Structure 1
């Protein structure tokens, strides 16, 4: 029997239902044969190679507020360890508020390919794929969600896969990039359970994960 791929799901911060998201994601990815382990301690990033992780997913929102898992950001050592691991072949998928980097610094923003700036009150918007040539977008068609709309600064070197419109302007909703021998992908939606349960969103997460893990070319 094929050994399941092991993925570390890093949670922590504020303003999000981290446990609820983890429960939904574990259920979705288990159907694809993935073994997900939840971590609230960013120090786990220091031993990614030693502990044999195939991939890392970050669903975080770093703040200075006190509370369970509410840390201000990754340390320089943790960012450096994660970056080294990716550049030597690791797969990193960042979701939703992972671009709220807090005190993590410029090196982490550079690894992600962008950084959160603000969002208006939640509203319904349609997400549009730019091209179906990339494996992340296989079978992905335009879909409408009620969610937070993230306005972000992003590196022009990333490959943008999905966009959405706000005040007649197009903004990136998903992007990816190659980092050394590894891969990084980011998906902006994901605040509300109705988004997590959307079949198109679930497919997008699955395929983004499989792309960073090199299951998909």
Structure 2
């Protein structure tokens, strides 16, 4: 049976407990044994011996030991997958964590707003068969690693920060970190965002791909 670890907490505006339940239910439906931790101090060498780690901890701080345990697990083949601020704005001071995830949130001009998502890789198992779609959520402007394999993008307009109009921003990507697979997308400010079929599909497929269970 594949195993997953969800580490959730941090800023309550991203509903960590509710997302933990959402992630847990879907992973269990796909045959995973899931452990959820809401304390950084509870991350141990044993707890990271899993197929998949899902961080959903906006801001906050990792202890040096917990950071090393997670990073070494991924380097050795554990998958890492997450969404929105739970992984893209987690542990801001931990640049090694950001190097692993492939990006860091810096702004969301206009806050919650309607925008479109463009699928860029129609052949990848995560995005295969999906078409461009609309969302109404935070449009993340991120500092992004050019080594990422981009699955989907969004384009900023001139309504809230005119100087970035036309900027094409990666919104979903995969990457390799050592032997581990990493998946991220920046959607999902609120749990209701997961009701968009394409958002749910990207999330679950990304988690399974990172765990090598696609």
For 2:143 and 2:117, the matched residues in 1 are separated by 18
For 1:21 and 1:193, the matched residues in 2 are separated by 7
Q: Is the 8 A contact 1:28 1:202 kept in 2?
A: no
**Hey, what does 1:113 align to over in structure 2?**
102
**Hey, what does 2:24 align to over in structure 1?**
26
User: CA 1:175–1:35 in structure 2 vs 1: closer, same or farther (change >3 Å)?
Assistant: same
CA-atom RMSD, angstroms? Answer: 1.8
Instruction: Give unmatched runs, 5+ long, in structure 1.
Output: 63-71
- 1:186 Cα offset (Å): 0.9
**Hey, what does 1:142 align to over in structure 2?**
132
Q: Is the 8 A contact 1:74 1:103 kept in 2?
A: no
For 2:207 and 2:48, the matched residues in 1 are separated by 19
- 1:108 Cα offset (Å): 0.9
1:179 aligns with 2:177: yes
> Once structures 1 and 2 are overlaid, which stretch shifts more, 15-24 or 125-134?
15-24
**TM-score calculated relative to the size of structure 1:** 0.86
Equivalent position to 1:55, from 44, 52, 55: 52
Instruction: Give unmatched runs, 5+ long, in structure 2.
Output: 158-165
Q: Deviations over 1:71-116 (max 9, x none)?
A: x311222222111111111100021102213454211110111111
1:1-217 paired onto structure 2 within 5 Å = 3=1, 5-14=2-11, 15-48=13-46, 52-62=49-59, 72-97=60-85, 98-120=87-109, 121-167=111-157, 168-216=166-214
Q: Is the 8 A contact 2:108 2:138 kept in 1?
A: yes
Q: Deviations over 1:112-168 (max 9, x none)?
A: 111110112110111111011211112222121111111110110111111012113
Q: Is the 8 A contact 2:48 2:73 kept in 1?
A: no
- 1:52 Cα offset (Å): 3.6
For 2:68 and 2:55, the matched residues in 1 are separated by 16
1:190 counterpart SS class? coil
